[in-house]
Chains A and B, each alone.
Chain A
Amino acid sequence: MPLLEGLRLALSQIWAHKLKSFFSLVGVIIGITFLIAVITIVEGMNRYVREDFAGSIFGINTFTVVRRPSIQTGRTTEEQRRRYARNPRLTLHDVDVVRRSAPPGVTVTWDSDRGFDQVRYGERERKNIRVVGASEGYATVQGWEVARGRGLSPLDERRGLKVAVIGPDIAQRLFPAESPLGKEIRVGPYRFQVVGVFEKRGGLLGGIWDAAILLPFSAYDETLSRDPGKLDEISVKAPTEKAMNDAMSAVEGGLRADRRLRPARDNNFQLQTSSGLLSAWNKINNVLLTVLPGLVSIALVVGGIVIMNIMLVSVSQRTREIGLRKAVGARQSDVLVQFLAESSVLSLVGAGLGVGIGVGLARIVHALTPLPASTPLWSLGLAVALGVVVGLVSGVYPASRAARLDPIVALHAE
C-alpha cells in the first residue's frame, strides 16, 4: 500500500476513535511535554545566564564580600545556617579593610538594600520599588548606565546630599509628561532630588532594578537605612580574572587579620563571584539534564506499551477487515505498512500534543515567574523523531501479527 494511503487511513482511524486515541497517548504526551518544558526552561535559563546574568548584573571579574551567601549552592545544613547567622554584619570599617588589603587597580564599592518600599511625587505614587544606598562607582561596577542626568558623585557622598538616581520605570510612572531631573521625590518622610535616570535593562533581575532608587550611601545611612552603619555587600571589581583572584586572596587575608581569626577558624564572611553562581546554575542544569532522559524514557516506554496494547486490541477488533483487505489483494507488507503508519501517526499526534502543551507550560511559567523560556528548534525535531520511533517500535509487534493473519481465518473471525 502506498504510504500516503496508509497515512490517510491512519488519520481517519485515529479520528474515528478520538477519545480512545487520546487516552492511549497520555504516556507519550506526558513524556514529550516534560521533555519540551524542561528543555525550554533550561535553554531559557542558559541563555539568560550567558547573556544577561553573568555579565551585567553581577559584573565581570567582580567579587563581593557578604555576611552570608545570597544564593546557596547545594544544600545548606542547619549548622551552616547558624554559623552564617553568627557572622558579624559588614560595616564601613570592613570597607576600609578591603580597600587597604586589595591590590591597586581594583574598584571597591559597597551598598545596602532597604528592600521594597514606595515612592511619591505629588499625587503620583509607585509601589514595590527597591531602595539602595550605595557608594559612588557602584552603578558603574554593576553595569548600570545613566540615560539622563548624572550618576552619583563623590561629592554627593561626602556632603551627604539627599539626591537620587531613579530607575526608568519609576521615571515613567511619576513623570509621564515632564523631566524628572531636579524634581523632589519622597520615600517615607524623606525627600530626595532626582539627579539622573538609569537606562532600561529588562530581563530577569534587570526588571527589579528598573524600579529601583539609588541613593548616596551617606544620605541613605542617615535616613532610610534599617540598620544604620551596616551594609549588605562590598563589591570589588578587578580589570582581569587573574587580578580578581589575587584580590580575593588579599581581601580574604586582610579581613581575617582584621577580625583576628586564627588559622584553624573558618571565615566569618563570604566571598562570592559570579562564576560561583554560574557553577551553581551549571549544577542544577546538569541534574536536570541527567534526570531528563531517564524520566522521558520511562514515560515514552510506558506510552509505547500502551500504544502497543491499543494496537493489539485494534488488530483483534479489525481481524475481519484485515481478512477482507487480504482477500482483495493486500500483501503482508501492505498490512504491515497500514498498522505501522497507524501507530506512528498515533504516537506522532501524541508528540505534537506534547510539544504544544510543553511550550504552553513553559510560556505560562514564563508569564507567571521571571524565568525565561526559549524552545530550541532541535528539541522540536527531537520530539518528532521520538514520536515516530516510539510509534514504529510499539507498532512492530501488532502490525506483524496483523500482517501474518491467514486470510480465511481472519475473514471468519467474529
Chain B
Amino acid sequence: MDATRDLVIMTRGLTKDYQMGSETVHALRGVDLEIRRNEYIAVMGPSGSGKSTLMNLIGCLDTPSGGEYVLNGQAVQDLDDDELARIRNREIGFVFQTFNLLPRASSLHNVELPLIYGGVGSAERRERAEEALRMVDLGDRMEHKPNELSGGQRQRVAIARALVNRPSILLADEPTGNLDSATSAEIMAVFEHLHKNSGQTIIMVTHEYDIAAHAERVITLRDGQIESLDADITVPHAVAQ
C-alpha cells in the first residue's frame, strides 16, 4: 500500500520501435520498471541498449510503441501533444549531455525558460530562477552567457533550469559525458545535495562506474530489456559483460 502510494514511475511492457527504412529497430522490448519517490537511480548498459530511449519515454519527450507508463498515477501513453508538453513542463526536469542552453541568453533567462511556458509571471519567474541558480552555487553568474561559463557551470545552469519548476523527477542522460572528472564530481555533488536535502527523485544514465556509484540503485539494460533492477557494480565485469 505504502509502496504504491510512493510510486513515481511505473512501466509495464514498455516497447519502442524505430522504423529504419524497411527495417524495424526494437529499441525497447518490454520494460517493467518501478521507481519510488526520492530514489536515486543510475541506468547503465552498453551503447545502443536503449538507455536514452527509455529516458526519453520517461521524460515524455517521446511516446512508446506499446505498453503502459504511469507517471504519478497518471497513464501517460494516451496523452496528446499539449498534455505531454504540460507534463514535461511540470513533472520532468531534463538534463542533457550537451547542456542545450540558449547560447545568446543569460543564465537567468535560460533558467526562466520552463517558467515562461508554465505561465509564471515575470517577477516570480525571476525570483524563482535566481533561487534555482543560487541552489547550484551560481548566484554570482546570473547575467553570464553560456560561452562565458565553464563546462561544469553550464551543466549547473542546465540543472537549475531542470529544477526551477520543482519537477517530481530529475532525468539526466549522461550529464557528465562532456565533462572532465573534477567537473563531474562537482555535478555529482549537486545531485547528492538535491537527493539528500531536497528529496529529489533522480534518474541518471551513465557508463562510468564511479559516477554510477553515487546512486542508491543501478538499473542495467541490455538489448532493450532490463538486465538487472538492482545491479551490483562493485564487481565491474558483471555489468561490462
Contacts and interface: CB of A to CB of B under 8 A. Distances in A.
B88 A328 contact: yes
A411 interface: yes
A395 B116 CA distance: 22
Interface string B82-96: 100110111000101
21 contacts: A1-B116, A2-B116, A2-B119, A323-B100, A324-B113, A326-B85, A327-B94, A327-B100, A328-B88, A328-B94, A329-B89, A329-B90, A329-B114, A331-B81, A332-B82, A333-B82, A334-B85, A406-B62, A407-B61, A408-B62, A411-B100
B24 to A, nearest CB: 18
A333 B82 CA distance: 9
Nearest to A331: B85
A327 B117 contact: no
A407 B59 CA distance: 11
B114 A331 contact: no
A321 B82 CA distance: 18
Contact of B61 (A2, A325, A327): A327
Interface in A361-408: 406-408
A401 to B, nearest CB: 15
Nearest to A321: B102
A331 B82 contact: yes
Given A1-B116, A407-B61, A329 B85 contact: yes
A328 B114 contact: yes
Query: Chain A contact residues (Cβ within 8 angstroms of B): what range?
Result: 20 to 34
Contacts of A334: 85, 117
Given A327-B61, A329-B88, A329-B89, 18 more contacts: A12-B104, A16-B104, A321-B102, A324-B102, A324-B113, A325-B117, A326-B61, A327-B100, A328-B88, A328-B114, A328-B117, A329-B117, A330-B85, A330-B117, A331-B81, A331-B85, A334-B85, A408-B61
Contact of B89 (A5, A324, A328, A407): A328
B189 to A, nearest CB: 24
B156 interface: no
Contacts of B102: 321, 324
A320 interface: yes
A337 to B, nearest CB: 11
Interface residues of B, number: 24
Contacts of B88: 326-329
A134 B56 CA distance: 95
Contacts of A407: 61-62
Nearest to B162: A328
A324 B117 contact: no
A320 B86 contact: no
Nearest to A332: B81
Nearest to A5: B116
Interface string B70-108: 000000000001100110111000101000101010000
B113 to A, nearest CB: 5
Contact of B161 (A1, A320, A328, A411): A328
Contact of A408 (B56, B113, B116): B56
**A-B CB proximity, top 5 nearest:** A329-B89, A329-B117, A328-B114, A331-B85, A324-B100
Nearest to B105: A12
Contacts of A406: 62
B48 interface: no
Of B89, B117, B161, the most chain A CB neighbours within 10 A belong to: B117
Contacts of B161: 328
Given A1-B117, A334-B117, A407-B61, A329 B94 contact: no
Nearest to B59: A327
B139 interface: no
B96 A411 contact: yes
Contacts of A12: 104
A155 to B, nearest CB: 85
A328 B61 contact: no
B125 to A, nearest CB: 10
